[in-house]
Amino acid sequence: MEFARLLKPEAVKVVTAASSKKRLMQAFGELAQSAYDLDADKVVDALTERESLGPTGVGHGVALPHARLEGLDEVVGAFVLMEKPIDFSSVDRQPVDLAFALFAPIDAGVEHLKALALVARTLRDPSFCTKLRANRDPGTLFTILTEGRSDQAA
Distance CA 10, CA 13 (A): 8
**CB count in 10 Å sphere of residue 56:** 25
pLDDT tens digits for range 85-106: 998 888 888 999 999 999 999 9
> How many CB atoms neighbour CB 35 within 10 A?
19
Domains of the chain, with CATH numbers? 3-146 (3.40.930.10)
pLDDT band at 147 (very low <50, low <70, confident <90, very high): confident
* Higher pLDDT among residues 1 and 13, named by residue: 13
Residue 67 bridge partners (DSSP)? 103
Which tens digits make up the pLDDT trace of 51-70?
Answer: 888 888 888 999 999 999 98
Whole-structure pTM value: 0.92
- β-bridge partners, 15: 82
Neighbours of 49 (CB within 10 A): 11
The phi, psi pair for 58, rounded to 5°, reads: -95, 0
| pLDDT at res. 51 | 87
76 neighbors 36 (Cβ within 8 angstroms): yes
Closest listed residue to residue 65, CA positions, set 152, 52, 125, 2: 52
Residues designated as active site: 66
